[in-house]
Amino acid sequence: MISARIGRTTGRGLAGSMAQCYPRWVGVTVTIPLLLANVINLGADLGAMGDAAHLLVNGYSLIYVAAFGAVCILLQVLLKYKRYIAVLKWLSLALLSYIATLFVVHVDWSSFTRGLVLPTFKMDPSYWSMIVAIFGTTISPYLFFWQASQEAEDLKEKPRKEALVKHPQEAEKANTRITLDTLIGMAASNIVALAIITTTAATLNKAGATNIGSSVDAAKAIEPLAGQFAKIIFATGIIGTGLLAVPVLAGSAAYAVGEAARWKVGLSREPSEAKAFYTTVGLATVVGMLLNFTPIPPMTALFWSAVINGVVAVPVMAILMLIASNKKVMKQFVIGRSLKTFGWASCIAMFAAVVGMAVTAFF
């Protein structure tokens, strides 16, 4: 919500606002690990999609990886911005497959409720690494950059709308829309995440299948426990989710790098107008594809990219809060007390998780 408000208020993405407030090295320091995590995450998603396609229709996984990567690049380069955003919105329906899977497996709902209300804590480095990874994949830094940039992009697509610092009379309507959009979107994404966690806990973990190297391993392990239908839904969900995630990962990396370098950026621009931006989109995707030709298992790559995201999120969130509270940037639209409270509480929670991981790893 705060990221969206920064984008809508200033008419710039998050990296652009950072460049206005801080020396260039601050943006570079944040952007490099973000780019690294995005490329690893992107490559792991493509690998999981390739494995899922192999599971559904046979063939060679790496060929599917290359095909999916090419499709994602073409979607961003050739489609008009409005149509591209519509494609992403429809692809988000693929997430419902994970909720569908939840209802075809046996869940011990009493254990589920107890574990949800009364979580356990362990002084174990693998436990705290997983906590950081879960945080890192739930509120990833790339989402902050994407959210702010898409608000700025919408202003370019709708000429009657201006940044709130120029047209403050639009603030009430814009902020109401941002609040509603964020609450619905984050509620849906967390319900889907909970469905995924619950399904895997009720099937794979219960059966002792805890060493999952790829989406094929996961789907094959689910089949004898939940049936062929669950396996097909699970594999289809991986492909749909990947088609949704890969362009966002590549696009957010390009926004961050481009705005930090002060290039012309934006999916609403023609490729000839923003060559460096679109080149970054393509290179990020291609490098991610090439990672699948290494012996690193996709699930391992996904996990460690999430851990990197969790660590990088701490300084990004702190900078985000400082920008949103800066009157020179936000004018009269600095965030209010409730958003400040929740925002800084989130920063502290992320920082505590990273400290817990570091302490248990080294002591």
**Residue 233 to residue 236: CA distance in whole angstroms:** 5
Q: Does the pLDDT at position 289 exceed 80?
A: yes
Give how many domains the chain has, as a whole number: 1
pLDDT in tens, 120-130: 888 889 999 99
Residue 230 pLDDT more than 70? no
Chain centroid to CA 140: how far?
5
Q: What is the pLDDT of residue 322?
A: 95
**pTM of the full predicted structure?**
0.84
What SS3 string covers 79-142? CCHHHHHHHHHHHHHHHHHHHHHHCCCCCCHHHHHHHHHCCCCCCCHHHHHHHHHHHHHHCCHH
What are the pLDDT digits (tens) for 252-285?
A: 899 989 888 888 888 888 888 889 999 999 999 9
- Residue 226, pLDDT above cutoff 70: no
pLDDT tens profile 304-321: 889 999 999 999 999 999
pLDDT of 222: 66
Which of the listed ranges 17-31, 45-59, 70-84, 279-293 does the model predict with the highest average pLDDT? 279-293
Q: Provide the domain limits for residue 354.
A: 2-362
Mean pLDDT over 24-46 rounds to: 88
Cα–Cα nearest to 143, from 41, 66, 48, 74? 41
Secondary structure tally for the chain: helices H, strands E:
16, 0
pLDDT in tens, 179-194: 999 999 889 888 988 8
Average pLDDT over residues 147-160: 82
Tell whether the model's pLDDT for residue 232 goes beyond 80: no
Q: b/e per residue, 196-225, with b = 16+ CB within 10 A?
A: bbbbbbbbbeeeebeebebbbbbbebbbeb
Mean pLDDT of 230-258: 83
Give the C-alpha separation, 62 to 54, whole Å. 9
Higher pLDDT, residue 298 or 36: 36
* 3-state secondary structure (DSSP) of residue 211: coil
DSSP state of 261: T
Between 19 and 93, the higher pLDDT residue: 19
Provide the pLDDT for residue 321: 96
pLDDT at 102 over 90: no
Which CATH number covers residue 355? 1.20.1740.10
User: What separation in angstroms does the CA of 229 have from each of 96, 238, 342?
Assistant: 14, 14, 41
**CA distances from residue 174 to 4, 11, 161, 268 in whole angstroms, order as listed:** 10, 13, 10, 20
| % of the chain residues with pLDDT over 70 | 95
Kindly report the average pLDDT of the chain as a whole number. 87
Who's near 111: CB < 8 A, 6+ residues apart? Answer: none
pLDDT value at 227 more than 70: no
Element (H, E) at 301: helix 298-324
